[in-house]
Amino acid sequence: MKKGEVLFNLIKRLTKSEKRYFKRFTQLVGSKEEKDYLVVFELLERQKEYKEKELRTKLKDLNVKRPIANIENYLLDKLLNSLTQYNRNKNLYISYWSELEKTHIMLRKGLYEAAEDTLKKLHLLPDHKKPLYHSYMYALWHDSLMYSQTKSPDVYHKVQELTQSWLQHLEGTTTEVTYLHLLAEISHIYQTPYYKLQEEKSSQLEKLLQHDFLTDESRCITISSKINRFYCLFYIYSYLNHHEALLHKSKDLLQVLRKDHEAMASILIEVWGTYLLSCIKNKKNKTFLKELKHYDNQSEYSTQTRHFYVKNYASAIYAIQNNKPQFALDQFEELDTHFSTYQAAYTEDHIQEFYFHIGVCLFMDKKYTEGLNWLNQWLLNKKRPLEDNFFFALLILYLFFQTENENFYLANRIIDLRKRQLKKNEETPEFVFKFMALQKTLNNTLLKDFRTELVKKTKLFNIYTNLLDLLDQTSDEEGRAIFQTFRQPLKAWVKEKINLIDIKQLQDTE
């Protein structure tokens, strides 16, 4: 990521109070001649999206002669120093050495790649100079690797190797170290993308669930050990579908966090989100609807945006699981406004989730034209890589929207294009090709004229039946994100099509 992009994203994620503090902070440091970086700050603050050429042109017009790279480096350093000072007394985790403090801030702002670069420098420090760091810092650092190197096949091994290296410098109890070991091992198993290892992964996680530190909650003395234990159980319970156990664990931890730990705002929101989803899975609808409004009107920027994302994600899942698409669609306008205003605050995966869940709700509500317009924004963006988590789900949903809008030729062209691209990706699940083949057959059948209506209806009946079989046969693990939320709405759509075809009546008529 370029320095200019890091700066732009960081500036856009500052709260008003952080900006005020930075401007006061700069008055105490450096001479007027050295403050070209303030000009760059103001120019980036005004931009709605990062435009390097526009920035260079305006600096030239303002007769700024220092190289822009030097100014950007200086500005980033001053911003992070300012934020370090601002947050020093507000967050008990930002209490370590300078580089670690900067890393923490970049992680909190979602700048995972930039944070990983700093973490690599810390890793190369001599042993006696490596700073201590809290288990919460480890969790954020783990996320930085997962987000920034998600396409790297050896990212999981890197997580384990670096964990082992850092753990020996952690001055804590045996409990803290053990939970970090467990967390690294469990998340490694959980994140492994190999679809054929489903039974083996389940067996490994079931075995780890019997670990003494997970069966005996009395070992959790500190709040950090309670959080790390919860993360371990979250990975295991969510993979093994132990939704009732996850409901109780998330509720218990949420009650503990709500008592005092204000500095843990981001963790508190994550646990709250898990509790909401557990309520949905366990059909605790009254509790869910009441709990959904608990954190409305957040004032702190990073917490506010994270809360908004979690709330809308949970609302969409609730709407889909309970067949109430309008529950999520009622928030559509607010979501669209917030998303366009704070887009820099979200990762690419979050953006795709927004598109996917709103698309599914529109599909359920039979608003096919509106759904197609919404998903066009996603599919026509060439920067979206094929291996993103929600790509396959969005692609299949998009093709069904095209079918419902009778854009059969366009749907076929998209299928041919994506097939060629997907064949180059060795990890593309087989079910994606099967779906596209069935959809192309469906489109061609709907386009053709047949000798009799009975022949056409019979062919359509067989295609829809095959689609239904494919939906039933494909596992959640193989289907990735698509079958977590899309399987039931899609099955309902296929069954409706089958019910509209009365083969017996057609036979009698002809």
Q: Which pLDDT does position 209 carry in this prediction?
A: 92
Contact between 65 and 13 under an 8 Å Cβ cutoff? The reply is: no
- The CB density around residue 505, as the number of other CB atoms within 10 Å, is 11
Residue with tokens 């009698």: 508
Question: Apex CA 214: angle with CA 212 and CA 215, to 5°?
Answer: 65
Of 349, 428, 351, 429, residue with least CA distance to 389: 349
- The CB density around residue 361, as the number of other CB atoms within 10 Å, is 26
E strand or H helix at 376: helix 368-379
Contact between 122 and 137 under an 8 Å Cβ cutoff? The reply is: no
d(CA 273, CA 306): 10
DSSP states along 200-241: HHHHHHHHHHT-HHHH-GGG--SHHHHHHHHHHHHHHHHHHT
E strand or H helix at 56: helix 52-61
Which residues, including other chains, have CB under 8 Å from residue 446's CB and lie 6 or more apart? Answer: 403, 406, 408, 460
d(CA 12, CA 17): 13
d(CA 293, CA 48): 30
Q: Which pLDDT does position 279 carry in this prediction?
A: 95
Which residues, including other chains, have CB under 8 Å from residue 247's CB and lie 6 or more apart? Answer: 275, 278, 279, 281, 282, 284
Which residues, including other chains, have CB under 8 Å from residue 215's CB and lie 6 or more apart? Answer: 209
The one-letter code for the residue type at 76 is: L
d(CA 282, CA 243): 7
Low-confidence ranges of the chain (pLDDT < 50): 91-96, 127-137, 140, 169, 171-172, 263
Spell out the domain ranges in the chain: 1-87, 99-171, 375-510
Residue with tokens 């309008």: 326
* Cα pseudo-dihedral 163, 168, 172, 173, rounded to 10: 90
Q: Which pLDDT does position 159 carry in this prediction?
A: 60
d(CA 243, CA 279): 9
Residue 283: left (phi > 0), alpha (psi -120 to 50), or beta? left
Residues in the chain: 510
CB burial readout 101-112, b (16+ within 10 A) else e: bbbbbbbbbbbb
d(CA 412, CA 440): 6
Q: Which pLDDT does position 133 carry in this prediction?
A: 42
d(CA 490, CA 84): 49
Q: Which pLDDT does position 382 carry in this prediction?
A: 52
Q: Which pLDDT does position 325 carry in this prediction?
A: 92
Q: Which pLDDT does position 171 carry in this prediction?
A: 47
Q: Which pLDDT does position 134 carry in this prediction?
A: 46
Contact between 422 and 386 under an 8 Å Cβ cutoff? The reply is: yes
